[in-house]
């Protein structure tokens, strides 16, 4: 038992028990199979490794910092405890219950972090094969999910301000997710370094070749000048007072060519390969609020799911299934609607599929909306440079000046308003190219 003392690099063997009480600090210890570490109120365990069959028990008021749980480790956490910086891997499941807080926990390799009712997790990192499960009544904030990891929110559970990276998946089944971000994984930094190195080598080689060419030209010019001087001497032609100096590799033309060669190499590095974004699935009863889907990310709003005030970035996708609802979406990517969309702002491509319903959306900034046969768009506005293509039904749409509505064969438009374009204030003689009479 350790009270107000410090233990470093300790090993707890089978049958052994170590107890940390008020003010006790254990750093870098190892708990082997059958060993037990008990951290009571005021005790701190930092950098401890719990092996298969080893047990760590955290009581109220204790602090666990940077704990590494190996496969088969046993963790018992009491109410009021704080788990910080723990790494969970190798198939371990760490359950956070009522009154327990988990901060900066990393979940890898088939392990799970389970946040039960009353538990809280902040800044969790879910990596390759890891999972985070937020049960009804649990709270999770500011997590990061990537590398085939997943986040699942059930019942009245809540997840907010999460980042879903490439390969990561977020599933909402009756839960609430707010201000999520689905981002692509950028894996081109090493490619950029290699490209810069290759281009540097090419630049040096090109400069050497250029110097040789310049030196050859300089030598040829020097030979021609020498012959010219000899000819002038032979014909008694007086020489110039200030003969033109012979330029070598430092002449202006060579310098300019070298500067041009360097400028050509200053190009941005290219991204190679297909870069997939994160995926968020809003299932029946789930609510995703303020979700931001970055490049090549995807949000699926399933039947019974709801998306509120989401943002779909460039090349990102949101798909609203039949029975799903998306409200207040700002679309700069691709929005496919087989369910219901309300008050969307479309800046790129929006397709209302058969059976889908669009209410009060705005098409602007060159965006286009296609209403398929069997679909309906109602009460929307098409602003400047917008395009509405109707194969199904359009009801009470407002078509502003400079926009376009196309009602195709089989399409129906009912009660729409088309605003007239203002007359141009351009002199007709200028417009028709009459140069004999300028504007008055």
Report whether 40 contacts 59 (CB < 8 A): yes
Q: How many CB atoms lie within 10 A of CB 436?
A: 5
pLDDT digits (tens, 9 = 90+) for 377-436: 999 999 988 999 999 999 999 999 889 999 999 999 999 998 875 444 444 443 444 443
> How many domains does one find in the chain?
1
Segments forming the whole domain that contains residue 342: 282-418
Is residue 162 assigned to a domain? no
| Mean pLDDT, the chain, whole residue set | 79
Is residue 388 assigned to a domain? yes
Listed residue (373, 365, 332, 325) closest to 350, CA to CA: 332
The pTM (predicted TM-score) of the whole model is: 0.65
Is residue 318 assigned to a domain? yes
Predicted confidence (pLDDT) at residue 266 exceeds the cutoff of 50: no
Report whether 104 contacts 83 (CB < 8 A): no
Predicted confidence (pLDDT) at residue 58 exceeds the cutoff of 90: no
Residue 148 pLDDT:
86
User: Angle between the 189-234 and 252-265 helix axes, to the nearest 10 degrees?
Assistant: 170
Is residue 90 assigned to a domain? no
Is residue 298 assigned to a domain? yes
Is residue 94 assigned to a domain? no
Is residue 236 assigned to a domain? no
């Amino acid at each position: 038992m350790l009270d107000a003392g410090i233990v470093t690099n300790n090993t707890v063997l089978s049958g052994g028990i170590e107890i940390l009480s008020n003010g006790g600090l254990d750093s870098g210890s190892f708990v082997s199979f059958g060993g037990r570490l008990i951290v009571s109120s005021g005790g701190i365990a930092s950098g401890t490794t719990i092996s298969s069959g080893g047990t760590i028990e955290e009581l109220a008021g204790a602090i666990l910092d940077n704990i590494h749980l190996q496969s088969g480790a046993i963790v018992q956490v009491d109410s009021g405890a704080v788990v910080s910086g723990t790494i969970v891997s190798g198939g371990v499941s760490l359950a956070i219950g009522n009154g327990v807080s988990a901060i900066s926990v990393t979940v890898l390799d088939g392990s799970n972090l389970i946040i039960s009712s009353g538990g809280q997790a902040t800044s969790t990192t879910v990596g390759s094969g890891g999972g985070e499960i937020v049960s009804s009544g649990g709270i999770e904030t500011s997590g990061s999910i990537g590398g085939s990891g997943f986040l699942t929110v059930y019942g009245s559970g809540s997840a907010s301000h999460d980042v879903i990276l490439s390969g990561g998946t977020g599933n909402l089944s009756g839960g609430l997710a707010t201000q999520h971000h689905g981002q692509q994984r950028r894996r081109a930094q090493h490619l950029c370094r290699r490209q810069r190195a290759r281009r540097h080598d090419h630049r040096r080689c090109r400069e050497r070749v250029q110097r040789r060419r310049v030196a050859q030209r300089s030598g040829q010019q020097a030979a021609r000048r020498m012959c010219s001087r000899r000819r002038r001497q032979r014909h008694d032609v007086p020489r110039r007072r200030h003969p033109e100096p012979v330029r070598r590799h430092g002449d202006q033309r060579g310098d300019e060519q070298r500067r041009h060669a360097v400028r050509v190499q200053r190009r941005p590095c290219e991204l190679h390969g297909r870069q997939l974004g994160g995926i968020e699935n809003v299932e029946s009863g789930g609510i995703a609020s303020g979700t931001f889907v970055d490049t090549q990310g995807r949000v699926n709003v399933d039947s019974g799911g709801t998306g509120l005030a989401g943002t779909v970035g460039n090349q990102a996708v949101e798909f609203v299934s039949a029975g799903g609802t998306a409200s207040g979406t700002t679309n700069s990517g691709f929005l496919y609607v087989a369910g219901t969309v309300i008050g969307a702002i479309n800046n790129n491509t929006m397709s209302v599929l058969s059976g889908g319903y669009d209410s009060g959306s705005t098409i602007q900034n060159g965006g286009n909306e296609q209403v398929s046969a069997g679909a309906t768009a109602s009460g929307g506005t098409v602003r400047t440079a917008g395009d509405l293509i109707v194969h199904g039904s359009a009801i009470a749409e407002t078509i502003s000046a400079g926009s376009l509505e196309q009602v195709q064969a089989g399409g129906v438009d009912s009660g729409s308003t088309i605003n007239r374009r203002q007359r141009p204030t351009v002199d007709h003689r200028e417009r028709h190219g009459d140069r004999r009479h300028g504007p008055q």
